[in-house]
Amino acid sequence: MSEPLVSIKMITYNHGPYIAQAIEGVLQQRTTFPIELVIGEDCSTDGTREIVRAYEKQHPGIIRVITSDRNVGVQKNGYRTVKACTGKYLAFCEGDDYWHHPDKLQKQVDYLESHPECGLVYSSYDVHHVGSQKRTRDLINQLIRKHNWQRPDNPSVVDFLGGRPRLGFGILTCTVMVRRQLCEEIIDSDPYLYQNNRFFRGDTQLWAETAQRAAVHYLPESLATYRQTDESATHSKDITKLVRLQISDAELGLYLCDKYHLPAATRSELEARRYNGLLRMAFYQRNAELADEVRGKKTALTRKEWFLYFGARSNFLHRTVLFLAALRNMAWTIRDRWQKSLRCESCGAREGGAGTADIKLPSQTCNRGASGVQL
């Protein structure tokens, strides 16, 4: 068999209900070049390993499974999977996402082959909301049309870390193709950033550092589907898990601030986001010591942060803040439903028609909507 031009990195853990569709999305690709699919299976407990092994037996010339006798975590699993890839180009698709466009790889390779200055190409995508079974189509282009969402032509690290909506939310892993040699140079140059499990995200920093070294290009069509489940690395009904993600994202940004000597304003914004996350964690865990530590370091607290601070220190205030937040969230829900009904009446459609969900950036930490009361 010829050497693959493209390697597909697919990491998976407990993706039993979805992994077959992810693999089939790769196998259906129409290309003029050979490909390989390298699956990093991290000791799943739901039958995922058996499924990927069966596909490996059916397609021995295309699929290779990388695994071990113990769970190694997202970062190390991703690293070993990248190191096992051999293609000139590297595409990504995690085990709970899939490619719905059969020409995804061909389109991206054609662009990279004709633009040697480009190091990363990505596209728009659909979002499949598993809980409601609704689908948001062509999300990035919707955001551009309806909300004037800006994508910088020559992004810098700051564009991945600044105020919302951030470019890091727009570049979704399952839409990306990069030059593998460039990718390996980046991840090998900073083991702390890419080879341990300190940071919840493993790709935002890779996109940001790639943009420092090469051009980044956007293909304005939906080539992949992001599956939004109730429980994942970036979505959860566990509020404290979302808060930990907020803190981790801020700490990742602060690390990149130090590494690239980013503007003081960017550092201040990230520090404020980290302290806010720590106060939220102190509130939900009723950790007065942590709340006092944050208050001692943060020069000024917002009104909301004062509520979090005192709620972490007092059971009565904790319950009071939760009650007020619940009333606020209820008012928001009523307002949103009313506004949605008005929109549906104006366009003559039934509420929830067309089978699509409200536009929302995936991978954001939302302030409401999860189980329990968020602040």
**HEC profile of the chain:** CCCCCEEEEEEECCCCCCHHHHHHHHHCCCCCCCEEEEEEECCCCCCHHHHHHHHHHHCCCCEEEECCCCCCCHHHHHHHHHHHCCCCEEEECCCCCECCCCCHHHHHHHHHHHCCCEEEEEEEEEEEECCCCEEECCHHHHHHHHHCCCCCCCCCHHHHCCCCCCHHHHCCHHHCEEEHHHHHHHHHHCHHHHCCCCCCCCCHHHHHHHHHHCEEEEEEEEEEEEEECCCCCCCCCCHHHHHHHHHHHHHHHHHHHHHHCCCHHHHHHHHHHHHHHHHHHHHHHCCHHHHHHHHHHCCCCCHHHHHHHHHHHCHHHHHHHHHHHHHHHHHHHHHHHHHHHHHHHHHCCCCCHHHCCCCCCCCCCCCCCCCCCCC
Position 154 confidence tier, pLDDT thresholds 50, 70, 90: confident
- Same domain? 248 vs 216: no
The more confidently predicted of residues 230 and 209 is 209
- Same domain? 94 vs 155: yes
- For residue 18, what are the domain limits? 6-228
Check whether 368 has a pLDDT greater than 60: no
Is 315 contained in some domain?
yes
- Same domain? 311 vs 210: no
What is the predicted pLDDT for the residue at 1? 61
- Same domain? 309 vs 224: no
Model-level pTM? Answer: 0.84
The more confidently predicted of residues 80 and 143 is 80
- Same domain? 221 vs 252: no
Q: Chain-wide mean pLDDT for the chain?
A: 87
What is the predicted pLDDT for the residue at 372? 53
Q: What is the pLDDT of residues 265-311, one digit of tens each?
A: 999 999 999 999 999 999 999 999 999 999 999 889 999 899 899 99
Q: What is the pLDDT of residues 28-84, one digit of tens each?
A: 999 999 999 999 999 999 999 999 999 999 999 999 999 999 999 988 999 999 999
- Same domain? 298 vs 178: no
Position 354 confidence tier, pLDDT thresholds 50, 70, 90: very low
CATH number at residue 129: 3.90.550.10
Cis (ω within 30 of 0) for the bond into 165?
yes
- Same domain? 76 vs 163: yes
166, 200, 228 — which closes off a domain?
228
Position 165 confidence tier, pLDDT thresholds 50, 70, 90: very low
Check whether 325 has a pLDDT greater than 90: no
Check whether 320 has a pLDDT greater than 60: yes
Is 181 contained in some domain?
yes
198, 228, 258 — which closes off a domain?
228
The more confidently predicted of residues 150 and 102 is 102
The more confidently predicted of residues 252 and 159 is 252
Number of domains the chain contains: 2
Is 112 contained in some domain?
yes
Across the range 220-234, mean pLDDT stands at: 84
- Same domain? 177 vs 157: yes
Is 233 contained in some domain?
no
